[in-house]
Amino acid sequence: MLNESRIAAAIDDAVLWRHHLHERPELLYEVEETAAFVAERLRSFGCDTVETEIGRTGVVATIRGRRGTSERRIALRADMDALPIKEETGLPYASQRPGAMHACGHDGHTAMLLGAARTLAETRDFDGTVILVFQPAEEGGAGARAMIEDGLVTRFRPDAFYGLHNIPGIALGTFAVRPGPIMAATDEFRVAITGRGGHAAIPHRTADPILAGAALVQGLQQIVSRNTDPLASLVVSVTQFHAGFAHNVIPDDAIVSGTVRSLSDETRTAAEARIRAIAAGIALAHDCALEVEYQRNYPVTVNDPTAATFCGDIAAGLVGEEAIDRAVDPLMGGEDFSYMLEQRPGAFAFIGNGPSANLHHALYDFDDRAIPYGIAYWVALTEKALSPA
Ligand code: NI
């Protein structure tokens, strides 16, 4: 499959497209140039439909197979946005935009899906419709949700969603996937503590928000250690504690905030409830008011077991069973492809990026040698999911 001449031309172009995109990183929803580049390529390939401005700057194309009249429809998704990081790779195609960088490999994801689109539009060796989804704002902006709210599911009617992300530390030419949760829900909390400040030497006339905050930081540690099944996964990290301004003044208030990562809705909901309960107890014990804001960000990314097996089989067909990890550990980072998997079954898989710097690092680069594997994966997945009856 990897050596097939039909994807060979797409591979060379995809490398050039990636370098082009890498030089011109754009953030969140501001991916206008990237989206225009993607739409122009998709039109030049002869896709049946190409629509822009879905979810502000998302692009959706469709290609109908020539092998029958099936109504089956699958969606393949890539993300287009970069990160607010100053690139330090020194590469010839390094970012030309100060303070922006493709440090998560979304340039590679976009190039691979474009390469697949080109091949699929030429060969059309399947029965049904493939929907190519290029989304903005994966890095914290919930671009996937914006596209869904703008009709991605109701207008394009996919039966399933598939996603692919490169992972440093997984060997080039290999894939990993797992049934069930593969990426975490990423929530944040902020507790505003209001006490009664005063002279530090007259503490009995105050209600000390710093002491209450210290008790809160300690109390929150029991959520993982004493309230959560040891076999479940949960992270509760306090990452900010702000209070005070002078050595001899007890302040009026304090702020404690942090992040919660979980791999199931049950654990997530229980963690939020415990944060609120612990804060309420500390308010009582310390005679302070504790106001909890809990913000649910990306949900858990949950792979459908059948789809995960299917994706593992597709990858194994390309690189052999020994190059597939079908039980990879979930990552506690978040991924807004989760919103698509809440709508339809499907699977999010990992493609090896070799021993590169980590994602979101100033020295990271997507490895061009992964591109043939990604294109071949998308093409094989489409032809198998939409194989003629
Ligand atoms: Ni990413």
Q: How far is the CA of 179 from the centre of ligand 1 (A)?
A: 20
Q: What is the pLDDT of residues 277-287, one digit of tens each?
A: 999 999 999 99
The percentage of residues in the chain with a pLDDT greater than 70, rounded to a whole number, is: 99
Would strands 301-303 and 180-183 be described as parallel, antiparallel, or unpaired? antiparallel
Q: How far is the CA of 267 from the centre of ligand 1 (A)?
A: 24
Closest among 4, 23, 3 to 111, alpha carbons compared:
23
Locate 162 and state its tokens.
């598939």
Q: What is the mean pLDDT of residues 373-383?
A: 97
Q: How far is the CA of 364 from the centre of ligand 1 (A)?
A: 12
Q: What is the pLDDT of residues 88-147, one digit of tens each?
A: 999 999 999 999 999 999 999 999 999 999 999 999 999 999 999 999 999 999 999 999
Domains in the chain and their CATH numbers? Answer: 8-182+300-385 (3.40.630.10), 185-296 (3.30.70.360)
The CB density around residue 99, as the number of other CB atoms within 10 Å, is 12
Where would I find the H helices in the chain? 5-23, 32-45, 106-123, 143-149, 152-156, 209-227, 265-286, 305-319, 337-343, 371-385
Supply the pLDDT for residue 162. 98
Q: How far is the CA of 160 from the centre of ligand 1 (A)?
A: 20
* Maximum CA extent, the chain: 84
Residue with tokens 């093409």: 379
The CB density around residue 295, as the number of other CB atoms within 10 Å, is 11
Closest among 113, 104, 102 to 163, alpha carbons compared:
113
The span from the CA of 368 to the CA of 58, in Å, is: 24
Q: What is the pLDDT of residues 186-200, one digit of tens each?
A: 999 999 999 999 999
Supply the pLDDT for residue 3. 56
Q: How far is the CA of 26 from the centre of ligand 1 (A)?
A: 14
For the chain, the distance separating the N- and C-terminal CA atoms, rounded to the nearest angstrom, is 22
The span from the CA of 350 to the CA of 352, in Å, is: 7
Q: How far is the CA of 138 from the centre of ligand 1 (A)?
A: 7
Confidence of residue 6 (pLDDT cuts 50, 70, 90): confident
Q: Which residues surround ligand 1, an ion (CB under 5 A)?
A: 104
Q: Above 70 in pLDDT, residue 2?
A: no
| DSSP state at residue 126 | S
Q: What is the pLDDT of residues 140-181, one digit of tens each?
A: 999 999 999 999 999 999 999 999 999 999 999 999 999 999
Q: What is the pLDDT of residues 297-330, one digit of tens each?
A: 999 999 999 999 999 999 999 999 999 999 999 9
